[in-house]
Amino acid sequence: MSHAPLRFGLIGTGRIGQVHAENIAANPDAVLTRVADPFIDGARRVAERVGGQATEDSDEIFSSGDVDAVLIASPTPTHVDLIEKAVDAGIPVLCEKPIDLDIARVEALRPKVAAAGVPVALGFNRRFDPAFAEVRERVAAGEIGELEQLTIVSRDPAAPPAAYIGVSGGIFRDMTIHDFDMARFFLPDIVEVSAVGSTTFDPGAREHGDFDTAVVTLRAASGAVVTIINSRHSAVGYDQRLEAFGGKGSLQVANRATSLVSLSTATQTEARSPYEDFFLQRYAEAYAEELRAFVSLARGGASTSPTFDDGRAALLLADAAQRSAVERVAVAVALD
């Protein structure tokens, strides 16, 4: 059964908003009809490139009558209010992570989201990375036996500007939150969080009382253990690896290089090109698949889109990790 393209309203035209705009334009089941940004020049540039009507007032997206779904890519402090407006308007919404930096605001919105029944998805795009998704499917199929250990390595090429760190909520809410969701993708029932953080190289993190280096251990109800290794810099490029380990074996996801060609000479063997150096490059396929899953969700079809509750759980884990790292204690969590 064929459908008319889902008409999207996009809120926010920064770096990630532009990625979503391009993916909407490239998806035959989607079309961009409205683009909102208080910095109207950004909205106009996106509209000129991929279509849609530009506005500086996001309320127009909810009242226009020509929007079937909303994609929120605006700054984090706007997310709760915009999700609530979408729910009130009965419009399915895909929102970038995190829902908010304050768990109290998330908890306050949660009953309305649950009662409304309007599809709300969170932008944890890494679930849609083909390699990570394959490992998860093979673990679920029992290929390596019961999952005992999950190791996630996530290191950025370079630290963000100090001004960004000051409003980001800190490394656990800003960076590790993706890894918390990936951990729950494999092991939803996390019951304990232990974290260690340090500031070893980044003056911006030091200025704002944040960490640039962190290791988090999560314990699942099954007894399985997740180890998350983070750093705000990596001289080798964007370091994104994963290993799932069980009694029958292990499954690994390696870093992606910029080329499959290697060089061997008298002085070196199998010398390869650098790893990909930017998250938009590394996860391009994941962002496109994330949109496809959301289109299905918005139409009432089968979908693997992360939910509002997934976003809440990731923030609860981030808050627990922050407390653990500061107070140097293990923190019990209840995600239900």
**CATH, residue 79:** 3.40.50.720
Same-domain check for residues 114 and 139: no
Q: DSSP states of 116-182 as a string?
A: H---EEEE-GGGG-HHHHHHHHHHHTTTTSSEEEEEEEEE-SSPPPHHHHHHH--HHHHTHHHHHHH
Tokens matching residue 326: 């500061």
Range of the domain at 52: 6-118
Q: Are 178 and 124 a contacting pair, CB within 8 Å?
A: yes
In a domain, 294, yes or no: no
Q: Is residue 286 part of a domain?
A: no
pLDDT of residue 89: 97
Whether 45 and 181 map to the same domain: the answer is no
- Show Cβ contacts of residue 293 under 8 Å, excluding neighbours closer than 6 positions: 121, 128, 303, 304, 305
Same domain, 13 and 145: no
Co-location of 186 and 318 in the same domain: yes
Q: Are strands 331-332 and 190-198 parallel, antiparallel or unpaired?
A: antiparallel
Q: 10 and 86: one domain? A: yes
- Average pLDDT, 10 consecutive residues per value, the chain (336 residues): 87 96 97 97 96 96 96 97 98 98 98 96 97 98 98 96 96 98 98 98 97 98 98 94 98 91 91 84 94 97 96 98 98 95
pLDDT at 55: 97
Burial letters for 87-107: b for 16+ Cβ neighbours within 10 Å, e otherwise?
A: beeebbbbbbbbbbbbbebbe
The angle that helices 15-26 and 40-50 make with each other, rounded to 10 degrees, is 20
pLDDT of residue 2: 63
Residue 301 included in any domain: no
